[in-house]
Structure 1
Amino acid sequence: MANTVVSLFSIVLLCITAAQGRKRLHLNNERLTSYPVINDIDGICKTMVETQGYTCEEHQVTTEDGYILSLQRMPEGRSGEKADKPPSVIIELRQLTCVELFQDASTWLVNSPDESLGFILADNGYDVWLANVRGTQYSSGHTSLIPNDTAYWDWSWDELASYDLPAFAQYVYNYTGQRIHYAGHSLGTLMALAALSQGQVVNMLRSTALLCPIAHMNQIPSLLTKLAADTFIANDMYWLGIHEFNPNGRGGAASKFVEDICNKLNLNCSNLMSLVTGPNCCLNSSRTDISSEPTATKNLIHLSQMIRTGKIVKYDYGDQGQNMQHYGQPVPPLYDMTAIPNEFPLFLSYGGQDFLSDVKDVQVLLNDLKDHNGNKLVVLFKEDYAHLDFVRAVNAKQMIYDPMISFFNVN
């Protein structure tokens, strides 16, 4: 086991080797008080949306704790007809490993317009807003901090649920004057579940689609992910002073190193992505590249706590005094999934081959929702889908997005 811990720790150290010179946008000490449309020549609009013939706007919103986040708006489809349906916000978040860490909103645009949810929603008449959470390339600004500051990375998904999601929802709600359909993948679903369970954003959302829902997590079958959580790797990194987890180090030598580590663990790493996400059935073979965005090491610690305990709770500081200081009680409070309003419309879809949103864990979540109004909870199971299929599969439109849009249309 000692060799395993050392090997896994080496993998994490490899993953955090980062290119520190990446261009970032910092708007220190500047809060947005209106609704400006940003002209960003390197942004998602210019590089990914307008190149496909769609209209796109860059927006920014500042959270209550000072993070400056970006949104991209697609107000019409390829036909040029203005959206005639309520706004929809889609957030992309992934979790926990160097193969599949956090992504920004561009994930919803990577496939062709006929296969990518962002374009599909726009072509179906929705006013589409793509949201990028704190720490990602397009949401790296802050009113007083820069990413080189340790304090900038002092957050976990608690803050994503309590600050980022409400900021996105409030901005779009105020801008459009309409309630919103929300779609999230993986940890984006946990943000929504946590916020809804605490009564946040309910009055601004019309419905929520949960693709690969992450809530209860202690039955995940991914050996790499499970071992990383069980051996407290993220905790060790945090106490070594590594507060930003940046997985961008890559290249031939790095790939060879990971291969050697997998050999030592006696794992077949010919497809490392599948070891973490599950055997994806239907990815476009020409678009299998996965670029990763940074996250906070504290966020990884929080997720590891969930995997070890099976509980959906706020971040545990590991000290009763610190927990008392933050929460007024010696243990972190639970997020109660049964507190989600029974009449709130939920669309939930999961896959039989998913190693992160595991079938058994999803069943525990569904048991939490057993009292939900029958006509307000739609559950779609896809036996051959794994984690990435829900955002990258060539047939996701027919299998997942069309039923989801039908659900939006009636709510």
Structure 2
Amino acid sequence: MTPPSASSFILIIISLIPLLKFNLVFAKILPTLTTELPEDATLNFTELARKYGHPSETYQVETQDGYLLELYNLPGKGRIPILLMHGFLDSSDTWIIRGEDSLAINLANNGYDVWLGNTRGNRYSCKHTELDSRGRQFWQFSIHELGYYDLPAIIDKVLLETGAEDLTAIGHSQGNAIFYILGSTRPEYNKKVNLLIALAPICFMHHTPSPVSIYLKVSPVLIEISSKLGIYDLLRYDGFANKWFRKFCSHAMFSYTICAKLIIFPIIGFDTPELDAEFFTVLINHMPAGTSWMNFEHFGQIGINKKFARYDYGVSANLREYNSTTPPLYELKKVTMPVALFAGRNDPLSALGDVELLKDHLPNYVDFLVHPRKQFNHGDHVWGAHMKKYLFPYIYETLNRFVNNYP
């Protein structure tokens, strides 16, 4: 296994490419890193949906604070819509890039009405009614805004278009944390979610091991550097650093040996049979999909302070924002929507101790599955090669037991 310090160093260097002023050097190297990509690495969401037999319908959702989000629908006959929400630095692509073996296509093949959301700042949601995405103000958001503004706007749009009274949700990683923020800050939305299936739930980060704990600890320093240099987006999809990262990690010489084994696996947990070299090239051309440095910093604060709390602006700004020197905690007792927790033993981002802690704070958790496969990691929930065998049966059993949503 690669030493955590190595993976930490490599990922930090890559994320800081634009900050380190190496642009001219990398710009010269970039054209030489040519390689032939698998078709699915080059297709966007709507093209992938069409290829796998479920042409999607596209909706634009406007949030209360003016962000324009892209929402997709794979129409089905299920009486209750199912909303899939992606994780950190990710997009709706994560649910479809495994093609026939992906959750979105599998649900659609079985007749479910599938909806897929995108939060602000990713490749499909980088627009605003007034703000320019090249400016600082556009990127002044953390996970709080994703849960408080983006998610309710998406839910309301799905319910408006379908005429349903509530929906079923399946989240991955950050895609679950935003539901806890929503349920605690806008409790009226709890009744609009009949079940949340939380894959690799992120909330508390008390037991996060290295190298992830290192990223959290250095987040304040990275934020300060990026802010001073006027860089507020983190690996935006069409940005130079992300383009270079995709190009570098798509090259046969570097892709699996360096990018998968030295960078990705130490973060999500090693499970090479489920994340093979060919698929990794597809994955790395869809993810990272972009977010803000502020969002990354918020996760860092949650990990460092060991509190699931709102963003910490500093004492004076906190007084203005919260009328308190410290940010308030999210009141998880207000999250009354039913929640089924799915966890893995080999998941350093969503450690079992933290999922147990979350379970103890949720008043209406209805199920807690620790996957029996020992190698099951953070990414296997959405990218695993054999999800149809070892994960989907649990998802369908949970859907049928608690929602009874047969197409």
TM over 0.5: yes
| Equivalent residue, structure 2, for 1:335 | 330
Q: Does the 8 A contact of 1:181 with 1:208 survive in 2?
A: yes
CA deviations 1:349-404 (Å, max 9, x no partner) are 011111111112112112223x546xx33434343201111101122123222222
Letter in 1 for 2:167: I
Which residue does the alignment assign to 1:153?
139
The answer to whether the aligner puts 1:381 opposite 2:381 as a matched pair is no
| Alignment of 1:61 onto 2:64 | no
Write the letter of the residue equivalent to 2:319: M
* Aligned counterparts of 1:401 and 1:269: Cα–Cα separation in 2: 25
Amino acid across the alignment from 1:90:
L
Whether 1:361 aligns to 2:354 is yes
Match of 1:44 in 2: 45
Q: Which amino acid aligns with 1:244?
A: D
2:91 aligned partner: 104
Aligned partners of 2:86 and 2:171 also within 8 Å = yes
Partner of 2:35: none
Q: Deviation of residue 203 (structure 1)?
A: 2.2
8 Å CA contact 2:260, 2:280 repeated in 1: no
CA distance in 2, matches of 1:182, 1:361: 21
Q: Aligned partners of 1:388 and 1:116: how far apart in 2? A: 12
- Residues 327/92 of structure 1: CA separation in 2 closer, same or farther (3 Å cut): same
- Find the aligned partners of 1:70 and 1:8 in 2 and give their Cα distance: 28
Q: Structure 1 pair 188/6, CA: closer, same or farther in 2 (3 Å)?
A: closer
- Partner residue of 1:169? 155
SS of the aligned residue for 1:326 comes to helix
Deviation at 1:407, TM superposition (A): 1.8
Report if the CA contact (8 A) 2:56-2:74 is conserved. yes
Contact 1:185 1:211 in 2 (8 A): yes
**Structure 1 residue 293, shift from structure 2 partner:** 1.3
How far the C-alpha of 1:278 sits from its partner, in A, is 0.9
- Match of residue 201, structure 2, among 205, 213, 216: 213
Secondary structure (helix, strand or coil) at the match of 2:242 reads coil
Counterpart for residue 39 of structure 2: none
Q: What is the letter of the counterpart of residue 146 of structure 1?
A: D
* Correspondence for 2:34: none
Q: Which residue of 2 aligns with 1:138?
A: 124
Q: Secondary structure at the match of 1:194?
A: helix
In structure 2, what is the equivalent of residue 34 of structure 1?
none
The one-letter amino acid of 1:288's match is F
Alignment of 1:5-404 (within 5 A): 10-14=13-17, 44-45=45-46, 47-76=47-76, 83-94=77-88, 102-113=89-100, 115-178=101-164, 179-198=166-185, 199-223=187-211, 225-231=212-218, 232-240=220-228, 241-246=230-235, 247-250=241-244, 270-280=261-271, 281-289=273-281, 290=284, 291-318=287-314, 320-341=315-336, 344-369=337-362, 372=364, 376-382=366-372, 383-404=374-395
Q: Which amino acid aligns with 2:215?
A: A
The equivalent residue for 2:238 is: none
Which segments of 5 or more consecutive residues in structure 1 lack a partner in the other structure?
A: 21-41, 77-82, 95-101, 261-266
List structure 1 segments (4+ residues) > 4 angstroms apart after TM superposition: 3-9, 15-20, 251-255, 267-270
Output the aligned Cα RMSD.
Answer: 2.9
Inter-CA distance 43–276: structure 2 relative to 1 (3 Å threshold): closer
Cα distance in 2, alignment partners of residues 268 and 185 from structure 1: 22
Residues 176, 141 of structure 1: alpha-carbon distance in 2 compared, 3 angstrom cutoff: same
Distance 1:84 1:278 in 2: 35
TM, length-normalised to structure 1: 0.79
* Amino acid across the alignment from 2:280: T
Relative to structure 1, the CA distance from residue 385 to residue 161 in structure 2 (aligned partners, 3 Å threshold; closer, same or farther) is same
Q: Structure 1's 251 and 108: CA in aligned 2 closer, same or farther, altered over 3 A?
A: closer
Q: Which of the pair is proportionally richer in helix? A: 2
Residues paired across the two proteins, number: 357
TM-score of the superposed pair, with normalisation by structure 2: 0.80
Provide, for residues 18-45 of structure 1, a one-character-per-residue CA deviation record: whole Å limited to 9, x for no partner.
Answer: 999xxxxxxxxxxxxxxxxxxxxx8522
**What SS class does the counterpart of residue 81 from structure 2 fall into?**
strand
8 Å CA contact retained: 1:88, 1:126? yes
Instruction: Return the alpha-carbon distance in structure 2 between the equivalents of residues 112 and 6 of structure 1.
Output: 33
SS in 1 for 2:340: strand
Distance 1:397 1:14 in 2: 38
CA distance in 2, matches of 1:368, 1:200: 19
Judge conservation of contact 1:50–1:56 (CA < 8 Å) in 2. Answer: yes
When residues 251 and 104 of structure 1 are mapped into structure 2, their CA distance, relative to the original with a 3 A threshold, is closer
Decide whether the 8 Å contact of 1:158 with 1:315 is kept in 2.
yes
